[in-house]
């Protein structure tokens, strides 16, 4: 492949680590736009924002959650993000509190220079999210864009290997994770965040880039850990981790076509092809009965 064609697959990724304030939609939206503008001025053309970055996260009542929600793509946040994406010629993935009729979803919206691209709804709800949101019903879509095949996850989705595998099986080049990671019990403050270990492992075993934008701060007593990260298809970080307590933007340049090309690890091994579908199902589950092994008793010897 010529250098010219290789350059067509290169993107500059930015993860915007910010501190949304619950209930301050206008302020949060303005801050997100400022960070998008800063990232774009530094050459980024794929920009990822945290989970529920427009509304804040820790709701006290369903009424508050509904009040801070909006429809996609007709709401104020999507309109503002679409306008800035068109102006700057960038793609963004942003966490948003989505209202669909009488239902709420913890969602990510994908928007490009030519307007709205698509929506992902968080599949695995965490803790009290179950009081406000419906589980995602759109699966794990992969959005084909001019800069590459983009899939999305939100926070707790990263704890399920199936989430990344389903994206990879559909040809995703990169998974953009809008997240609000919280401390994990037993986590040593001087060690790598468990979430980042999961991201790096998933990037490695699925040969996909992963860009995770976290938030910081403490909201209504709930602390968040920051440490946004961008991982190569190899699993190793190429951007970040960011700090635990500062608003900042991390960057990485990546040739997304490598996610497809380098899935062949050796002459004999390719992690998606090597799956033993004769032992377990194409997508999930076993095709064989599990046999429980029991040690033989002395009289069976």
To which H or E segment does residue 115 belong?
Answer: strand 115-121
Supply 84's token pair.
């800035």
| Of 12, 19, 122, 129, catalytic | 122
Neighbour-count burial for 20-50, b at 16+ CB within 10 Å, e otherwise: bebbebeebbebbeebbeebbeeebbbbbbb
CA distance 197 to 235: 9
DSSP code at position 122: -
Closest CA to 181 of 136, 134, 140, 213: 213
Of 92, 91, 105, 104, nearest to 154 (Cα)? 105
d(CA 120, CA 207): 21
122 in catalytic set: yes
Question: Who contacts 22 (Cβ-Cβ below 8 Å, separation ≥6)?
Answer: 55, 56, 57, 58, 59, 68, 219, 220
Give the alpha-carbon dihedral of 254, 259, 261, 265, to 10 degrees.
120
Q: 248-255 and 209-213: which strand pairing?
A: unpaired
SS3 174: strand
Cα–Cα distance between 232 and 254 in angstroms, integer? 8
Alpha helices, DSSP H, located in the chain: 3-7, 25-41, 62-67, 76-88, 161-169, 194-206, 257-261
Active site residue 129: no
Which of 19, 51, 98, 129 does the annotation list as catalytic?
51
Catalytic residues: 51, 122, 155
């Amino acid at each position: 492949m010529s250098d010219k064609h290789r350059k067509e697959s290169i993107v500059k990724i930015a993860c915007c680590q910010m501190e949304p304030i619950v209930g301050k939609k206008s302020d949060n939206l303005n801050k997100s736009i400022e960070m998008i503008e800063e990232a774009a001025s530094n050459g980024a053309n794929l920009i990822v924002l945290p989970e529920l970055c427009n509304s804040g996260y820790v709701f006290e009542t369903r009424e508050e959650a509904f009040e801070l929600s909006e429809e996609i793509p007709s709401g104020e946040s999507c309109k503002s993000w679409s306008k800035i994406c068109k102006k700057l010629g960038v793609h963004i993935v942003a966490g948003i509190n989505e209202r669909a009729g009488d239902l709420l979803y913890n969602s990510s919206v994908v928007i490009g220079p030519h307007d709205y691209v698509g929506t992902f709804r968080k599949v695995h709800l965490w803790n009290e999210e179950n009081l406000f949101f419906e589980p995602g019903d759109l699966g794990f879509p992969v959005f084909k864009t001019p800069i590459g095949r983009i899939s999305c996850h939100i926070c707790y989705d990263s704890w399920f290997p199936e989430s990344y595998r389903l994206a990879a099986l559909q040809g995703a080049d990169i998974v953009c994770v809008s997240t609000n990671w919280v401390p994990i019990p037993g986590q040593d403050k001087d060690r790598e965040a468990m979430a980042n270990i999961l991201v790096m492992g998933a990037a490695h075993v699925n040969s996909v880039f992963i860009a995770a934008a976290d938030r910081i701060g403490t909201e209504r007593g709930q602390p968040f850990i920051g440490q946004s990260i961008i991982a190569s298809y190899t699993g190793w970080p190429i951007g970040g981790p960011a700090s635990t307590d500062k608003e900042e933007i991390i960057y990485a340049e990546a040739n997304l076509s490598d996610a497809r090309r380098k899935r062949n690890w050796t002459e004999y091994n390719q992690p998606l092809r090597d799956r033993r579908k004769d032992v377990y199902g194409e997508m999930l589950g076993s095709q064989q009965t599990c046999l429980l092994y029991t040690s033989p008793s002395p009289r069976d010897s």
